[in-house]
A and B are shown apart, each in its own frame.
Chain A
Amino acid sequence: MTVVIRYFANLRELRGTSQESREISPGSTAASLYRDLGLPLELPVAFAVNQERVAGATLLSDGDEVVFLPPLGGG
């Protein structure tokens, strides 16, 4: 299974890219993917899959677009 991950703000700078594809194993969740990528656990991220906000425990499917949302700063 492959998912596309898009990065924004400090996560984009940290990762050095705004988008990547990643092979995941069945049973992977949004939160487990975040951990597996070695992204900072102290950052209170929220999760979006296919542009919908989801819980970290949400199972990922082939072709999903995953975004980790760092704390928002709009307005």
Chain B
Amino acid sequence: MLRFGADAIDVAAVEAAVTSSTQGAILVFSGVARDHNLGKGVSGLHYEAYEPMALAELGKIAAEVAERWPDTKLAIVHRLGAVAIGEASVVIAVGSPHRAAAYEASRYAIDELKARVPVWKRESYADGTAWIANRS
């Protein structure tokens, strides 16, 4: 499961996508819209993507995870459009026979997503909006 969507993310469905009888560790990471950034109050987020390239890039990340941590399963769902404070903008689930690979693969997936996948985030404030870049 690698996809973008406008609706609230069904975390249980993302988790279920990586769950099987061979997996002894299921790790779910949620990136959540918080109400402040860089010292400013944030009232909401808006995401947009260059979707075909973004999906291809998610596929490359998944292939890399499969190669580096062979018995893991990975699922990534990312929101597009408006995301309210407190809602998840991204959910990453990893299933693995053992926990170490799950933690490593999950961290790899979110770090690579932030660095490589063509998605942009606009924050709304009381006094305007701004496009915010990920810190490397």
> When the two chains form their complex, are residues A8 and B48 in contact, meaning their CB atoms are under 8 A apart?
yes
- The answer to whether A10 has its CB under 8 Å from any CB of chain B is yes
Q: How far is the CA of A14 from the CA of B136 in the complex (A)?
A: 25
B34 → chain A closest CB, angstroms? 12
- Closest-CB distance, B63 to chain A (whole angstroms): 15
Q: Are A75 and B50 in contact (CB under 8 A)?
A: no
Give Cα A9 to B130, complex, Å. 10
**Is B69 in contact with chain A by the CB < 8 A criterion?**
no
Out of B31, B89, B110, B133, name the residue touching A72 (CB < 8 Å).
B133
* A contact residues around B120 at 8 Å (CB): 8-10, 70, 72-74
Given A8-B48, A9-B48, A67-B118, do A73 and B131 touch, yes or no (CB 8 Å)? yes
Q: Are A74 and B52 in contact (CB under 8 A)?
A: no
The answer to whether A72 touches B117 (Cβ under 8 A) is: yes
Name the contact of A48 in the complex, choosing from B50, B119, B131 (C-beta under 8 A).
B50
Q: Nearest-CB distance from B31 to chain A (Å)?
A: 5
Give every chain B residue within 8 A of A8 (Cβ-Cβ): 48-50, 118, 120
A23 to B83, CA, bound (A): 38
From residue B42, how far is it (CB to closest CB) to chain A in Å? 13
Contact partners of A10 in chain B: CB under 8 A: 120, 131
**Extra 17 A-B pairs, beta carbons < 8 Å, given A74-B120, A75-B90:** A8-B50, A48-B53, A52-B53, A67-B53, A71-B133, A71-B134, A72-B119, A72-B134, A73-B47, A73-B120, A73-B131, A73-B132, A74-B54, A74-B78, A75-B31, A75-B89, A75-B134
B-binding residues in A (CB < 8 A): 6, 8-10, 48, 51-52, 67, 69-75
15 contacts between A and B (CB under 8 A): A6-B50, A9-B48, A9-B131, A52-B53, A67-B50, A69-B50, A70-B120, A70-B133, A72-B118, A73-B122, A73-B134, A74-B54, A74-B78, A74-B113, A74-B117
